[in-house]
Structure 1
Amino acid sequence: MTIIAFNRYWVVRWPWVLINLLVLALLLGLSFWQWQRAAEKTQTLARIANWQQQGAVDIARLTTINTTVRDGVQMDFIGRWLAPMVWLVDNKMVNGRIGYDVLIAVEDDSASVDSVALLVNLGWVAAPTQRDFLPAVDIPPELRVQGIFRTRITGVLLGTNIENKGVWPMRIQQVNIESLSLQLNRTLVQGLTYQEKNSPFLIHYQPVILPPERHKAYALQWFLLAIAVIVISLLASARKRPQGIEL
């Protein structure tokens, strides 16, 4: 099929047009997705900065904050480890080495017996060479919890979540508040605090890995590629007007 426009012949091949439209839609979709990610990261950073200005809280104060706005709250209190429970979150890569995140449950040192507990990610520990063995972890009975509380803690489940062999620590695939609460026989706050200071393990958590500016750059990149597809398609289908033919 040939179309005459702008003093040129345009050869239209419908299979080629459909392929180009699909590629164009994909590139524009990726650009829009990256732009959305940038907006989400901007909101997250603003929320965290706002909570930092308001100051840190303990578990009791955290539970009074509406669950829909808790994400990013700064925590600072003396916690008592609910021994002997230690969970090792599997498949955590740090500096090119595989290992585990060390997860414990704590209660406020001044809390009553029936108060809620809080999950704390103390950081990373390297995995032994043989997977059948778990790393030895030394948890202090009391520690100062200083970190950021996050409500989005979903992970990838590769099999049975908790490898319960009757001894501690136990390996888990992802943090599931309900299952850990049942195992602990204690109500847990819906969320996870990532320790940011004074941990016996390697602290590696970052609330935002890629900044909003990086996502915007990716969005622009995909958008420019979409424009390039349009330009190349038009150039490939354009034909010069034959001599002696009036359009």
Structure 2
Amino acid sequence: MQRAQEKQERVTQIEQRQSVSRLSLDTVLNEQDRRDLPFEVKGALQLDKVFLLDNRIETGQVGFHVLVPLETESGVLMINFGWIKANAYRDQLPQIQLNQDTYSFYGISAVPTHNPMVTETATASAPWPRVIQSIDLTLMSAFLDHPLLPVVMQLAPEHQMGFVRNWQPVVMAPEKHYAYALQWFGLALACVIIYFVALRKRRSKTHD
């Protein structure tokens, strides 16, 4: 029930934030909560330093998210250009084709979180594009040998560049949490009923 309430608050925040005009990168960086903010930025892509986020699923197919650093006046920003299908063989990475002459980008801000269940397999000696298991900005900064800004732009679906972009900031809707809560309440009630039925039968048997 608590998770459902948290998700509902998040959905409301997303709707409110994405209804405003695009902000500047500096405005986003100055926010206490940097998530879900529409913003735009200009800069030069580092197309020789592409990251491929592994094991991303789109319509039942396995692929990668393509992340490219962008040099801006405020620092280096990581942009997620969306999903691209993986090749049949793991040692054959997909070809990444992006326009070097594009300098203006817009999308939604995201703040990566650390997942302790994910073990990173990338190393500093791996070739580019470099396959990573999670968006760890500290590790990616080390690979790039310069710091990254603490937000990631999820490129807007209507932007001319990039790949498949079906962003889902809330993976599980509040209604599903309520449904799971109802199932657990039902199981708890069933356990209580079974307990009292068993207790009654035991007392009846003892009396007999």
TM-score bucket of the superposed structures, by smaller chain = 0.7 to 0.9
Instruction: Return the alpha-carbon distance in structure 1 between the equivalents of residues 51 and 186 of structure 2.
Output: 46
1:43 — aligned with what? 9
- How far has the Cα of 1:172 moved from its partner? 1.1
2:174 is the counterpart of 1:208: no
Instruction: Return the alpha-carbon distance in structure 2 between the equivalents of residues 118 and 207 of structure 1.
Output: 19
2:66 — aligned with what? 102
Asked if structure 1 preserves the Cα contact closer than 8 Å seen for 2:76 and 2:149, the reply is: yes
1:118 — aligned with what? 77
- How far has the Cα of 1:159 moved from its partner? 4.2
Asked if structure 2 preserves the Cα contact closer than 8 Å seen for 1:153 and 1:192, the reply is: no
1:17 — aligned with what? none
Secondary structure at the aligned position of 1:129 is classed as coil
- How far has the Cα of 1:143 moved from its partner? 4.9
Instruction: Return the alpha-carbon distance in structure 2 between the equivalents of residues 138 and 85 of structure 1.
Output: 13
Normalised TM-score (structure 1): 0.73
Instruction: Return the alpha-carbon distance in structure 2 between the equivalents of residues 50 and 120 of structure 1.
Output: 23
2:130 is aligned, of 152, 170, 181, to 170
- How far has the Cα of 1:163 moved from its partner? 6.5
2:118 is the counterpart of 1:157: yes
Instruction: Return the alpha-carbon distance in structure 2 between the equivalents of residues 55 and 212 of structure 1.
Output: 27
Deviations 1:177-224 (CA, angstroms, capped at 9, x unpaired): 112122223331112221232243111320112211221121112111
Secondary structure at the aligned position of 1:105 is classed as strand
> Letter of the aligned partner of 2:182 in structure 1?
L
Deviations 1:97-121 (CA, angstroms, capped at 9, x unpaired): 111110111134xx2xxx3121111
Asked if structure 1 preserves the Cα contact closer than 8 Å seen for 2:112 and 2:135, the reply is: no
- How far has the Cα of 1:241 moved from its partner? 8.1
Aligned-CA RMSD value: 2.3
Instruction: Return the alpha-carbon distance in structure 2 between the equivalents of residues 153 and 80 of structure 1.
Output: 26
Asked if structure 1 preserves the Cα contact closer than 8 Å seen for 2:69 and 2:78, the reply is: yes
Normalised TM-score (structure 2): 0.85
2:21 — aligned with what? 55
C-alpha spacing 1:145/1:153, structure 2 compared with 1 (3 Å): farther
Deviations 1:137-178 (CA, angstroms, capped at 9, x unpaired): 01222254332212243345334234643x421111111111
> Letter of the aligned partner of 2:41 in structure 1?
F
- RCO higher in structure (CA 8 A, sep ≥6): 1
* Percent pairwise identity: 29
1:195 is aligned, of 155, 161, 165, to 155
Instruction: Return the alpha-carbon distance in structure 2 between the equivalents of residues 79 and 41 of structure 1.
Output: 34
Looking at CA atoms only, which structure, 1 or 2, has the larger radius of gyration?
A: 1
> Letter of the aligned partner of 2:46 in structure 1?
L
User: What number of residue pairs does the alignment pair up?
Assistant: 201
C-alpha spacing 1:51/1:194, structure 2 compared with 1 (3 Å): same
C-alpha spacing 1:206/1:39, structure 2 compared with 1 (3 Å): same
Instruction: Return the alpha-carbon distance in structure 2 between the equivalents of residues 56 and 107 of structure 1.
Output: 19
